[in-house]
Amino acid sequence: MSAADAPNRRRRDTWLIFIALSVFTVINLMPLIWAVLTSLKDPRDAFTIPPTIIFEPTLEYHRQVWFENDFFVYLKNSLIVSAGTVLISVPFGSLAAYALSRIPRRSAGPILSALFTIRMFPHMLLAIPFFVMGTFLNLIDSYILLILALVAINQPFTIWLMHGFFLDIPRDLDEAAAIDGCTSWQAFRIVILPLARPGMTVAALFSLLLSYNEFLFALVLTGTSTKTLPVAIASFGGEDISSWSLSAAGAIGIMLPIVVVMLLLQRYLVRGLTAGAVKG
């Protein structure tokens, strides 16, 4: 091949990759597109061979799922659990991560490994004692037990993540604050914390994603009055095909808020995903 061919060949390859990736993306998004269409279909349009793309869309099922079922109650439960988890998880995790980033490396290392080990625990193993203890303490169907469980399983990741952010903040700042007579608490609150805000956004985002989407603990620790959205939609059906449109509307309703939040804050999301891999 002559030297002049190389750029041409490269451009052609780029086009092929672009087309292949486009086709893959469309196929990959099919389940999502199909669910949106189903939620807008009347059952008589939903069950046809071949599947229809042209039909008269109706918002009737979105209305029914929210106004004739208890979805607003489940949404409220989900929001309380998510907010509680984020509000405890991020401050607790930040405190520990800050201290971890300022103590000598030889003592921080084992603590980080221990946290990684905790992250490995199968959730099912924890769900059993939680359920047994919750039954005895009469805390099943309360928010507090679920929130504590979610904070606990989320702490290792939050600390790990925030630790990386605090390491990037120079120690000179703490030392300068100490010379000026600040206690460690004042140095943390006045000097360091404002600089760690992006890190806290990332940590909050991941706590939110986890607590809004979590299913197992929510399934075993909630009851009729504290049921969260994922538990509600799982018990709602999908078995009975005549209720497909209705459950599709519910599923889309659960998906939308979290997807919108995540897309708006996407750059923080990517930072969090890669923090473990790039620094770890």
Stretch that binds other proteins, among 59-67, 68-76, 94-102, 193-201 (CB under 8 A): 94-102
- Establish if 75 lies at the interface with other proteins (CB under 8 A): no
Q: Which of residues 120-179 bind other proteins (CB under 8 A)?
A: 120-133, 135, 148-149, 151-153, 155, 159, 175, 178
Q: Which of residues 16-55 bind other proteins (CB under 8 A)?
A: 17-18, 20-21, 24-25, 28-32, 34-35, 38, 46-51
Q: Which residue, 73 or 178, is less far from other proteins as judged by CB?
A: 178
Stretch that binds other proteins, among 65-73, 79-87, 90-98, 195-203 (CB under 8 A): 90-98
Q: Which of residues 195-214 bind other proteins (CB under 8 A)?
A: 209, 212-213
Closest C-alpha to 71, from 206, 221, 229, 200 = 229
Q: Which residue, 48 or 225, is less far from other proteins as judged by CB?
A: 48
Number of residues that bind other proteins (CB under 8 A): 94
What does the alpha-carbon distance between residue 266 and residue 229 come to, in Å, rounded to a whole number?
23
